[in-house]
Structure 1
Amino acid sequence: MKVGILISSWRGGGAEFVARTWADKLVERGIEVVRYDYAGTGDIPGIHVKHFPRRSALQSALALPGWLRASALQDEIDVMLSMLTYSNLAALVAKVRGMKTPLVISERNLASTFLPLEGRSGKIELRIAERLYRRTDRAIAISHPVAAELVSRFSIARDRVDVVPNPALPENPRRVPRSPKLRILAVGRFVEQKRPLLFVAALAVLSKRGHPVSGVFVGSGPMAQEIVGLAEDVGVEIELLGWREPWWQAIDSASCLLLASSVEGFGNVLVEAAACGIPSVAVPSALGVADAIVPGLSGILASDDSPEALADAVLAASKLPMPTSPINAWLQRFSVENSHRILHDTLLRAASRE
């Protein structure tokens, strides 16, 4: 089997990490992989790369599907895997225009909620996805909530949607000591979707209740000054460590991790925290986090997204014992081996047009 992977770049966020991990494992198993990208960054030994010529945004949108169709034919690709919404749409347009290669799209987020946050371009992508996603041969969802949306919102048949767990389990996690005082972690970009100001507001509630509390941010982004300003206004102690990789190596102790995001397709950081012995708190209305946390075992789902509810959940999570045996058994679902096994089965079914 010869697999093509369409993604904008080999470096960047979570989807790019997953693409690299999957590609590495496919090659390790003797499967030839060709990567098609349209940002032209980063190479990996053993993987053939084709770069789409750089053009203006409009020219790229018009020419990318034709280039992909011709490349898939020339390279004799058995199955094409596209990653993220823009790549999915480009591959689907190529399919509509005559690409014969079986196509598997991979959706990493709750598109109907996430894309409108990106403004006009995101709303346009959503409207096109509503018309084209059903044309795919198979679809991969990062979580069960994303799979449900692919079926209900985008009209993909249930038997053509596969949930492939993210290979989010760290290879060498470090068990982080529990802090005797409330020391709450936030890991990720400082952007509206992650709601870092809500994180600070929850800490302020805990402080007003008389709990000595501090917050640690591992990440970066355009809202850094707003975070610092709000923390000063409400009298909460915080640290901004910048981005560290892996993030848990920068943490000497913690009580729990709080993911205050408004929407998540999954939430790798929740799995990573569990592997490090750190309980987590997430907001259930973020939806995708439900696959990344075991309530009462690896963390707590807050009752709602108010600062008070998050504060209650933080107190409950910080008392969880985090038993190693049952948590490790659950974590194996997110191992590289398990993720690759399910991915491989999905690609085989698509290639054989089952």
Structure 2
Amino acid sequence: MNGIRPKLLIFINTLQSGGAERVVSLLLEHLRGDFEIHLALYTNIVDYAIPADVKMLDLKQPLKQNKLLRFLKMPYQSYKIYSYCKKNGIKISVAFLYRPCYVNALMKSLWGYKGKVIMCERTHQTTMQQSHSAIYRMFSKFMVMFSYKRADLVLANSYAMQTDLVENFKIKTPVKVIYNPIDLGFIRTHTDEEPAYTFDRNSFYFINVGGFRKEKNHLLLLQAFFILKNLPCKLLVVGGGIMEEELKQKAADFGIKDKVIFCGWENNPFKYVSRADCFVLSSDVEGFPNVLIEALACGKAVISTDCSSGPRELLAPATDLHYKAINSYEIGEYGILTPVNDVTALAGAMKKMYEDTALRKRFEEKAKSRAEQFDVNEIKEYFHAAFTAL
């Protein structure tokens, strides 16, 4: 590069706790030696460290906003991004999550941005849209198709997501798959940190890490755990979000509040995961769940709903990616998959993992080697190639 680093804008809603946000934080740290990185945030909420040499643009938008008002403000936001890129000579703009992708598309359509636009899809759009009204689905589908037609490259973080965009949204822009990276070095050096909670040696611990959002379906997890309430088990829930009080009330209503421990949001959840016995993901929809890879990196046996997309590719990669677990749980190569939103199947998988020590040990023995394939030092090269190839 002759000593001159290409200028790169990375645009995301916030750096609040979440999978896409963690990926961005890793890219900021691991690509800043090769790029002059600028970070644009829709809302200035930051839970992850930002390197001192990363320049930042704050669009100063409220985290919660009327959807129509948010949409009407997008042309102006796109102009602010365009002006910033023009002023700073930025030729590559990378958007994570749908709102920044829409704004980037408008930057190109309305203001004639001449640089390259890369859009990073982080969820399975068809599945995500199913829970909304018909009008919302039509509008959302239009916006996805409108935006991605204006991209020079789309990056998906699973093959199921790539297939969804090509087949269901007719995306003609090149769609490449780059899996989410994890920072194995950070995980390995932080598992020994003492957690605030004292583990009971006589209890078996299930654990979940994630934001308290509807699509994460923590209610399903609480319902499944309720079925196991007479076993010597406890459930750790690490995370936070708008549904926190509702979930705590549900645990109380189910009569399990003494066995469900809400640990709050943690920048280092690994000190909890490494001390638990089994990680459980109960989501209705994902992109490619970082928390599953991170749990494997901690050497843990894992259970996940077979949601779109990511868990099957991660836990049963040799199977047909179009297949879904139905009626009962499925034992994969690296973990157990359960049907989406199936309380009985999830409880059955959790009971199986509790009772079958040999199976759990087999998963634990494979876990770390599986996680190594997603280390940031490996994955960052794919991002670097995607950003520079344009």
TM-score range normalised by the length of the shorter chain: 0.7 to 0.9
**SS at structure 1 position matched to 2:206:** strand
Cα deviation, residue 306, structure 1: 1.7
Matched, 1:35 2:39: yes
Aligned mates of 2:7, 2:253 — CA distance in 1: 57
Cα 1:327–1:186, aligned 2, differ >3 Å: closer, same or farther? closer
Partner residue, 2:319:
none
Amino acid at match of 1:133: Y
Matched, 1:185 2:207: yes
Maintained 8 Å contact 2:40/2:57: yes
Cα deviation, residue 194, structure 1: 1.5
Partner residue, 2:385:
345
1:25 to 23, 30, 55: 30
Partner residue, 1:99:
113
Matched, 1:8 2:28: no
Partner residue, 1:131:
146
Matched, 1:48 2:55: yes
Partner residue, 1:287:
309
Partner residue, 1:85:
98
Matched, 1:308 2:312: no
Cα deviation, residue 323, structure 1: 5.9
Long gaps (5+) in structure 1: none
Aligned mates of 1:124, 1:179 — CA distance in 2: 52
Matched, 1:204 2:226: yes
Aligned mates of 2:304, 2:124 — CA distance in 1: 16
Aligned mates of 1:118, 1:14 — CA distance in 2: 22
Superposed CA deviations along residues 291-348 of structure 1, whole A, max 9, x for unmatched, are: 3434544321014532221122223344321466643332122111122100011112
Aligned mates of 1:180, 1:299 — CA distance in 2: 24
Partner residue, 2:66:
none
Deviates more, 1:46-55 or 1:194-203: 46-55
Amino acid at match of 1:220: G
Cα deviation, residue 205, structure 1: 2.3
Aligned mates of 1:178, 1:139 — CA distance in 2: 47
**SS at structure 2 position matched to 1:44:** coil
Aligned mates of 2:383, 2:346 — CA distance in 1: 35
**SS at structure 2 position matched to 1:45:** coil
Aligned mates of 1:252, 1:154 — CA distance in 2: 40
Cα deviation, residue 115, structure 1: 4.8
Cα deviation, residue 32, structure 1: 1.6
Cα deviation, residue 123, structure 1: 6.6
Maintained 8 Å contact 2:18/2:210: no
Aligned mates of 1:229, 1:16 — CA distance in 2: 28
Partner residue, 1:270:
292
Aligned mates of 1:252, 1:161 — CA distance in 2: 35
Cα 1:156–1:317, aligned 2, differ >3 Å: closer, same or farther? farther
Long gaps (5+) in structure 2: 1-5, 63-68, 194-198, 317-330
Maintained 8 Å contact 2:148/2:171: yes
Superposed CA deviations along residues 214-237 of structure 1, whole A, max 9, x for unmatched, are: 222112234344434443444432
Partner residue, 2:323:
none
Cα 1:86–1:121, aligned 2, differ >3 Å: closer, same or farther? farther
- TM-score when normalising by structure 1: 0.85
Amino acid at match of 1:261: S
Maintained 8 Å contact 1:115/1:123: no
Cα deviation, residue 92, structure 1: 1.0
Aligned mates of 1:168, 1:339 — CA distance in 2: 9
1:298 to 331, 334, 344: 334
Deviates more, 1:259-268 or 1:165-174: 165-174
Maintained 8 Å contact 1:244/1:250: no
Cα 1:211–1:12, aligned 2, differ >3 Å: closer, same or farther? closer
Maintained 8 Å contact 2:238/2:265: yes
Matched, 1:238 2:260: yes
Aligned mates of 1:347, 1:179 — CA distance in 2: 48
Cα 1:244–1:75, aligned 2, differ >3 Å: closer, same or farther? closer
Taking only aligned residues, the RMSD between alpha carbons, in angstroms, comes to 3.1
| Identity over aligned pairs, percent | 23
Aligned mates of 1:270, 1:175 — CA distance in 2: 19
1:110 to 119, 124, 139: 124
Superposed CA deviations along residues 217-267 of structure 1, whole A, max 9, x for unmatched, are: 112234344434443444432222222221131457423111111111111
Maintained 8 Å contact 2:285/2:308: yes
Cα 1:252–1:150, aligned 2, differ >3 Å: closer, same or farther? closer
Aligned mates of 1:31, 1:322 — CA distance in 2: 42
Partner residue, 1:216:
236
**SS at structure 2 position matched to 1:321:** helix
Maintained 8 Å contact 1:297/1:322: no
**SS at structure 2 position matched to 1:157:** coil
Amino acid at match of 1:221: G
Cα deviation, residue 191, structure 1: 2.9
Aligned length, in residue pairs: 346
